[in-house]
Structure 1
Amino acid sequence: MAVRQLPIPAKSDPSIPLLTQLSNLGPFRGPLQLVQTLDRVSGIPWLQAQSQYPKAYWQSRESDKELAASGCVRKFATANEASHCLSESAALPLVIMGALPFDDTNTPGTEQPLFFLPRLLWQRQDDNITLTLNLWVDEAHSFTDEMAAAKDALHTLRQPAHTPCPPLPDVLAVCNSPEQASWAKLVSQALAEQPILSKVVLARRQLLTTGQPCDPWLLLQRWHQANQHSTPFALQLDNQSSFIGCTPERLFKRDGRQLLSEAVAGTDVRPKDPLHARLIAMALLGDGKNRRENRIVLDDILSRLGPICDALSYDDRAQVLKLNRLQHLKRAIHGRLRKEICDADLLARLHPTPAVGGTPRADALRFIAAHEPFQRGWYAGAIGYLSHANSEFSVAIRSAHIEGCQLALYSGAGIVDGSDAHKEWQELDNKVATVRSLMGQK
Structure 2
Amino acid sequence: MSAQPLAMAIQSIVDKLNQVKHSSALEPILQISADVCPLPMLAWLSAQQTFPRIYWHGRDKTEEVAAIGSCYDFSFEDDVDDNTLAETYHQQCMLSNNHDIRYYGGVAFDRTIPCWPEFGRARFVLPRIEFRRSGDQHRLIVNLKTDPEVLAQECDSAIAALQELTPARPLPPPHKLTPMGRCDRPEYNRWKELVEQVTNKKFNQDTPKVVLSRLTQLEVNDDIDPWMVLACWQARNPNSFQFGFQFSHERAFISCSPERLYRRCQQELYTEALAGTTTRGFTPEEDSQLAQALLDDTKNSHENQLVRRHIVDTLNPLSNYVGAEERPTVFKLNHIQHLHRSIRAELRPGVTDFHLLQSLHPTPAVGGLPRHSAMSFIRQREGYMRGWYAGACGYFNKYESEFSVAIRSALIEPGRINLFAGAGIVAGSDPDTEWQELENKLATIMSILVEL
Length-normalised TM-score, structure 2? 0.92
Query: Is contact 1:8-1:18 (8 Å) kept?
Result: no
Pick aligned residue for 1:97 from 80, 104, 110 = 104
Q: Does 1:86 align with 2:93?
A: yes
Q: Partner of 1:220: helix, strand, or coil?
A: helix
Whole-Å separation in 2 of the counterparts to 1:108 and 1:225: 30
Matches within 5 A, 1:20-419: 20-25=15-20, 26-28=22-24, 29=26, 30-77=28-75, 78=85, 80-91=87-98, 93-105=100-112, 107=114, 111-138=120-147, 142-162=150-170, 165-192=173-200, 193-419=203-429
The verdict on how the C-alpha distance between 1:218 and 1:162 changes in structure 2, with shifts beyond 3 A counting, is closer
Whole-Å separation in 2 of the counterparts to 1:338 and 1:249: 24
* Structure 1 residue 173, shift from structure 2 partner: 2.2
Higher mean C-alpha deviation, range 141-150 or range 356-365: 141-150
Whole-Å separation in 1 of the counterparts to 2:221 and 2:89: 41
Query: 1:162 is matched by which residue type in structure 2?
Result: P
Query: Is contact 1:356-1:412 (8 Å) kept?
Result: yes
How many residues in Structure 1 have an aligned counterpart in Structure 2? 435
Query: 2:285 is matched by which residue type in structure 1?
Result: L
Query: Is contact 2:329-2:340 (8 Å) kept?
Result: yes
The verdict on how the C-alpha distance between 1:244 and 1:79 changes in structure 2, with shifts beyond 3 A counting, is farther
Higher mean C-alpha deviation, range 67-76 or range 388-397: 67-76
Q: Corresponding residue for 2:78?
A: none
Q: Partner of 1:195: helix, strand, or coil?
A: helix
Query: Is contact 1:263-1:331 (8 Å) kept?
Result: yes
Whole-Å separation in 2 of the counterparts to 1:15 and 1:325: 42
Higher mean C-alpha deviation, range 69-78 or range 216-225: 69-78
Query: Is contact 2:73-2:126 (8 Å) kept?
Result: yes
Percent identity between matched residues is 37
* Structure 1 residue 136, shift from structure 2 partner: 0.6
Whole-Å separation in 1 of the counterparts to 2:343 and 2:386: 27
* Structure 1 residue 424, shift from structure 2 partner: 0.3
Query: Is contact 1:70-1:118 (8 Å) kept?
Result: yes
The verdict on how the C-alpha distance between 1:109 and 1:325 changes in structure 2, with shifts beyond 3 A counting, is closer
Higher mean C-alpha deviation, range 100-109 or range 202-211: 100-109
Whole-Å separation in 1 of the counterparts to 2:194 and 2:451: 26
* Structure 1 residue 92, shift from structure 2 partner: 5.2
* Structure 1 residue 145, shift from structure 2 partner: 2.3
Query: 1:12 is matched by which residue type in structure 2?
Result: L
Whole-Å separation in 2 of the counterparts to 1:109 and 1:178: 19
Q: Corresponding residue for 2:432?
A: 422
Q: Which runs of 5+ in 2 are unaligned?
A: 76-84
Whole-Å separation in 2 of the counterparts to 1:270 and 1:166: 25
Query: Is contact 1:8-1:36 (8 Å) kept?
Result: no
Query: Is contact 1:79-1:115 (8 Å) kept?
Result: no
Query: Is contact 1:82-1:96 (8 Å) kept?
Result: no
Higher mean C-alpha deviation, range 388-397 or range 77-86: 77-86
* Structure 1 residue 346, shift from structure 2 partner: 0.8
Higher mean C-alpha deviation, range 165-174 or range 40-49: 165-174
Query: Is contact 1:284-1:329 (8 Å) kept?
Result: yes
Q: Corresponding residue for 2:14?
A: 19
The verdict on how the C-alpha distance between 1:86 and 1:168 changes in structure 2, with shifts beyond 3 A counting, is farther
- CA deviation map 1:231-258 (0-9, x unaligned): 1110111111100010010000111211
Whole-Å separation in 2 of the counterparts to 1:346 and 1:390: 12
Q: Partner of 2:282: helix, strand, or coil?
A: coil
The verdict on how the C-alpha distance between 1:290 and 1:92 changes in structure 2, with shifts beyond 3 A counting, is closer
- CA deviation map 1:85-109 (0-9, x unaligned): 3244114521111211111236477
The verdict on how the C-alpha distance between 1:324 and 1:277 changes in structure 2, with shifts beyond 3 A counting, is same
Query: 2:48 is matched by which residue type in structure 1?
Result: Q
Query: Is contact 2:319-2:345 (8 Å) kept?
Result: yes
Higher mean C-alpha deviation, range 367-376 or range 88-97: 88-97
Q: Corresponding residue for 2:80?
A: none
Q: Does 1:431 align with 2:441?
A: yes
Higher mean C-alpha deviation, range 24-33 or range 249-258: 24-33
The verdict on how the C-alpha distance between 1:107 and 1:437 changes in structure 2, with shifts beyond 3 A counting, is closer
Query: Is contact 1:8-1:17 (8 Å) kept?
Result: no
The verdict on how the C-alpha distance between 1:109 and 1:32 changes in structure 2, with shifts beyond 3 A counting, is closer
Query: 1:21 is matched by which residue type in structure 2?
Result: K
* Structure 1 residue 168, shift from structure 2 partner: 4.5
Q: Partner of 1:232: helix, strand, or coil?
A: strand
The verdict on how the C-alpha distance between 1:127 and 1:80 changes in structure 2, with shifts beyond 3 A counting, is farther
Query: 2:102 is matched by which residue type in structure 1?
Result: V
The verdict on how the C-alpha distance between 1:212 and 1:202 changes in structure 2, with shifts beyond 3 A counting, is same
Q: Partner of 2:385: helix, strand, or coil?
A: coil
Whole-Å separation in 2 of the counterparts to 1:420 and 1:106: 30
Higher mean C-alpha deviation, range 331-340 or range 205-214: 205-214
Q: Partner of 2:5: helix, strand, or coil?
A: coil
* Structure 1 residue 23, shift from structure 2 partner: 1.8
